[in-house]
Structure 1
Amino acid sequence: MVGDDGLARCPWGASHPVHLAYHDAEWGMPVHGEAAHLERLTLEAFQSGLSWLTILNKRPAFRAAFAGFDADVVAAYDDADRARLMADAGIVRNRLKVDAAITNAAATVALREEGGLAAFIEGFRPEVGPAPVTTEDMVATSAESVALSKALKKKGFVFVGPTTMYALMEAIGIVDDHLVGCHRRGCANA
C-alpha cells in the first residue's frame, strides 16, 4: 500500500497513525539489551487475544507498571505488586498475563547464566528468512518459533507459544516479514 507520503508499506502499517509510527520506526528492527527483549516478549504475551493497537496505546503505562522491564525489579514483584498491577487501568488487567510477566522476568534473570535472553532468542534465527509478497504469503508460526517456544518453556517461561514467539521474532528483526516492496523491507539488516 502506497501512503500519501509516496512510501510503500505493509497494509497494516498504514491502517492507523499509531501503526504507521510503529511500522516505520520499530517493527522488524533489531533491539539491544535485556530490557528491550523482555519488553517485546512481555508485550507480545499481553497482546494474545487482543489488538496490537491496544497494546501500543498502553505501552507507556506498561513501561511504568513494569519498571522499564528491568528483570531484577519485576522478578521481585510480590502479591502487593500483583494487586497494584491488577488495579492499573493503564495496562491490560489479566491475572494470567500479569503473573506471566513476573514469571518471565525471573526466568530472564536465571537465563543470564547461559548468556542471557537476547542471545538465547537470537539462537533461533532462521538461516533463510521469508520474503512475503502479499499478506497471504505471511505465516503465523515457523519451525524456529516452535523450537523457541519449547526451549523457553523448558527455561521456565510461560505465555510463549509458537505464534507469540513468531510475532516476537518479527518485532525484533529476527524474521523480516515486511512485504517485498515495503520501504522497510531489509531494515533488520541495516
Structure 2
Amino acid sequence: MADAVATAQEELAQGVKRGELTRDPYRFVLGALSVTLGLFPGFVARIEAAAEGARVPLSAEEKAVFRRDLRDSLRQEAGNLARAINRRTALLSGAGAMAVALIAGTGGYLLGRGSVREEVAVLEARLALGSGASRAWLSLIQANSDPRPALTAGNSWQDQASGRRAAEVRLWLDPAAASVPPHR
C-alpha cells in the first residue's frame, strides 16, 4: 500500500513539472493532494491494528465485568423507562378524567337547561288565568301583603266527600289608605 501511495505522489510531482505548473496556483492543490495521499497508509495501518485488537477474545474476568456492567445498565434503563411510562400514564389518565368531567358537566347543563324550560312552560300553563281573574288576584295580593293573619283568623274544615281542607279567609278588598306623615 505504501508503495502505491509513493508511486501516486511521484506521478503528481512529475505531472506538475511536465505541465509546467510550477508557477500555477494549482500546484498548491496538487501538493496538498500529495500530502493527503501520504497520510493514507498510516490511517490504514491504525485501522488494521484496531481491527486486530478487537478480535482478541475476552477473558473470563473481562466477560464477568462486561455482564455486570450490562446488567446494571439494563436495570437502570428499565427503571427510567418504568418511571416515564408511569408519568405518561398518569398524565393521560388525568387528561381523560378532565375530558370526561367536562363532557358530563356540559351535557348535564344542556339537558338540565332544557328540562327547566319544559317545567316552567308546564307550570305557566297550569297557572295561566284569564286577564280578569289575574287582575282580581293582583288587587287582592296588593291589598293583603301578608296572608298569614287572614288564614289564622277564619274557621277551617275538611270536606267529607273530597277530603280536602278549606278555610274562611278574611281579606281586605281595598288597599290600605296611605298614611300621611305628621307635619313638623
Q: Which TM-score band applies after superposition, normalised by the shorter structure? A: under 0.3
Structure number with larger C-alpha Rg: 2
Normalization by structure 2: what TM-score?
A: 0.22
Query: Higher relative contact order by CA 8 Å / sep ≥ 6: 1 or 2?
Result: 1
Normalization by structure 1: what TM-score?
A: 0.21
Identify the structure with the greater helix proportion.
2
